[in-house]
Every structure is written in structure tokens, then in C-alpha cells.
Amino acid sequence: MSAHIAPSRAERMTPRAWGLLLVLSGAAFLEGIDVSMMGVALPSIRAELGMSTSSLQWVVSAYVLGYAGFVLLGGRAADLLGRRRMFLTWLVVFVAFSGLGGLAGEGWVLVTARFVTGVAAAFLTPAGLSIITTTFAEGRVRNRAVLVYAGAGAGGFSLGMVVGGLLTAVHWRWVFFAPVVVAAVLLVAAVALVPREPGSRPQARGIDVAGTLTLTGAMVLLVLTVVHAPEVAPAVTAATLAGAVVLLAAFVRLERRSPAPLVRLGILRSVPLLRANAGAVLLLASFMAFQFIVVLHLQELRGWSTVETGLALAVLGIDAVLAPTLTPVLVNRFGNPRVLVTGMAFAALGYLLFLPLGPGWTFVAMLPAFLALGLAFTLAYGTLAIAATDGVADDEQGLASGLLTTSFQFGAALGLAVATAVVVAATADTSPQAVLAGHRAGLVVPLAAAVLGTALLATGLRRRRSAT
């Protein structure tokens, strides 16, 4: 018999509430680690499956596009079909297709498995976050729960590079098999601890499949446009870009006419929500671009092993400790907007410090940049989740969570695509000097995104001062 948490909002963190939060945070950690482990494993996957640089980025992009394309549907499904039902069902799918990825013998099988795993995460994550925001009372208790949850996701994202390096040293397939074991344990615990929703009945008529397909298609075409722009004729680039615009316009038209839209367009009138989502796009775009370039540089140009690369990036994992402990204190003391802007500014600083990358750089030379990025995720990741869901009605918490996750994942895919295109275009030949020049050019992408994000989020500070 499943345990049941009372439907009334938790005003304090009871042992049972902590148990629920740990299970949901474990799923967030798993999702974060699943994304970042791929980054360290990419060179090994390329070597065994014979994938090019452009096709290699699809191992990551397929996941994040499946995630970004379906997460709004996932958020809506959580609201209409039941948060517990969606969380448990898609955790099973996550287990199955993560295992399939580990068995893949060809690149297309791996990319397909990654896409479906991303779709599973798209239903899993907004269900988990909306369970938190509807279980804990708004204010300090909910803020703490959201920051612990988001800190777990950010910690998994950064620690995944270390774990990925260690697992890839055994074999890259363990990067897929290890999440299967963790997810199976979480599934058992979730059955016991995730609360049932009294009186809720599935309302499948509110599921907007057409909106989901047009939005996903638009994002896929946009990423294809960016990735292949340096390699194809301008007419092909123009055609795919036009296709993305047409599908996006079709999505907006569908949402305006649908009696149960995937996205209630009125929610986009909220300036704080739009600002938080734009910040999420730029934060993840900058980091995924940075990670992709740094891993290629360290392993393929410098000859570092996967273990050495993972350990070098381990310092980014400080957010796993600081996000749930330090960030709530800072938010209570200085307010969410100030902490958020500071976090994005640390990201810009980290990328700036890495920009003069040289062929003889040691780990000590890279350490200040890694520390700055660890602090960036400590301060920005969870506070974006608060900013994006604060003040949203209960029946749209799944939608707000889905919008934020869409922004995170689409930002990751877009940043990776732009960085790949810049590196390919700027690399004149395969000589070490040319490859290094390409890497340096690519590092401008995360810096530009972080600077833009800092400026954008700072407008929230000005608005707050004028309001007071």
C-alpha cells in the first residue's frame, strides 16, 4: 500500500516530507548526471562508432531536443493526468531506453535511444517539480524544497562529468547502464513516497499533441540550421530556417485556437516569467557550449584521459553542496533577484577567465574559471526555478515548470549547436594550431551568452527598485 502525504500544504519539513523531497531530488540528480556524463564520453563514443564532430553533437542534442520538445506536454500531462502517474510511468521508460543506449552498436540507434530518453525526462521532470510546488507551502518552506531539488539537478549536472570520466574509463556503455540501476532504486522508493492526488481523474482531452509536434519540429529544424550552416549551401540553410519559422507560427496559431492549449499564451504576458526563461536559455546554452569545447580540447588535443578530464571538471560539483545549503540563506538575506544576477555574472567571469586558453595550460591555470562556474550554478540554477514558478496558480505549476525546463534544454541544444558550428567554421585544418584556434573561437559563444544573460536578468533588479 502506497504511503500518502496529506493534501494540505506542508508548512514544515517533516521526515516524510524529507523522504519525498529526497526521492524527487534523486530523479533530478539522475536527469542532470545523465546529460553531463555524455559530454566526457563523447570522444570514446566517436572512436568506437565512427561519428563525425557534427553527428557526435546529436548524442547530446537528441536528448535535449526530445526533452525540450515534449516537456511542455509533460507539464500539461502532469496537471491533467496526475503528477504521481506521470512520474512513475516515465521513470520506467527512462530506465528502458537508457539501457537501450548502452546496447547500441550504431550511431543512429544511440541517437534514437537518447531522443526517447529525453522524452521520458520531459514528462518526469515537470511532474517532480510540480509535486514539490503543490506539496509545500509557498514561502520559505517551498523555496527551500525547490532549491534542494534544483541543487540536486545542478549537482548531478556538474558531478556527472566526474562520474562519466570514471565510467568511461571502464567502458563508455556504463555511462548508460549506471543510470538504469539508480533509476530502478528511485522507482521503488517513489512508489512508496510520492503522494496520490485525492479525487483526481485523468483528463486526456486536454492533451495538445499537435502543438507538441509543431514545437518540437521547429526546435529540431532550428538546431539543424545552426549545426549544418558551415557545411551546406546557403539555400539549404535558408530552407531549414524558414521551416522552423513556419512550424513556430503554426504552433502559435494552434495554441490560440485550441480549447485546451499546450501553452496558455496569456501566461507569457508575465515579464518575470519571460525573463527567468530567457535567463535559463542563456545559462544552459553557455555551459553546454563550454563543456563541449573543453572536453574536446582536453581529450583530443591535449591527450588527457577521461578520468583526468572528469577529475579536472570535478570542482564544478561544488554546487551540489552549496546550492542546498548556502543559496537558501543568501536568497532569504538578499532576495532572489540579486542572487540570480550574481550567479549569472559569475558564469560570465568563468568564461572570460578561460578565453585565453593556451596549449600549455595546467589544471591550476583552469581552476579559477571552474570555481567561478561552480559558484554560478550554485547561485543561478535554483533561483531561476523560484523566479519561473513564483506566483503561478496551482493548476499551471506543471506548465510553468515545463516552460522552464524547455528553456533549459533548448538552451543546451542551441548553445551546443552554435559552438559546434563556430568550431567547425573556425578550424582551417587538423593541425594542433588550427584546432586550438577553433576552440578559442568557440569559447566566445559561452562568454557572449553569459554576458547577455547577466544584462537581461539585471533588468529585474531595476524594475524591483523602481517598484519600491
Pairwise CA distance, residues 159 & 17, whole Å: 26
Are the beta carbons of 127 and 86 closer than 8 angstroms? yes
Pairwise CA distance, residues 186 & 311, whole Å: 26
pLDDT value of residue 206: 57
pLDDT value of residue 398: 66
CA distances to 21, 248, 297, 384, 393 from 410, in Å: 26, 14, 24, 15, 25
SS3 call for 10: strand
Distance of CA 375 to the CA centre of its chain: 17
Angle at 407 between CA 280 and CA 369, to 5 degrees: 35
The C-alpha cell 521526515 sits at 15
Helical segments of 231-296, H only: 234-257, 271-296
pLDDT value of residue 116: 92
For domain 15-196+260-467, the CATH class is mainly alpha
Domain limits of the chain?
A: 15-196+260-467, 208-259
pLDDT value of residue 6: 40
Are the beta carbons of 100 and 113 closer than 8 angstroms? yes
pLDDT value of residue 321: 79
> Average pLDDT for consecutive 10-residue bins of the chain (468 residues)?
44 73 87 78 82 75 79 78 87 90 84 90 84 76 78 74 82 88 88 74 65 83 75 84 92 85 79 90 92 86 83 80 84 90 96 88 92 92 82 72 80 85 82 86 94 92 58
DSSP 377-389: HHHHHHHHHHHHH
Q: What is the dihedral of CA 196, 199, 204, 208, to 10 degrees?
A: -80
pLDDT value of residue 202: 56
Angle at 402 between CA 398 and CA 407, to 5 degrees: 155
pLDDT value of residue 1: 36
User: What cell was used for 230?
Assistant: 558551415
Are the beta carbons of 45 and 51 closer than 8 angstroms? yes
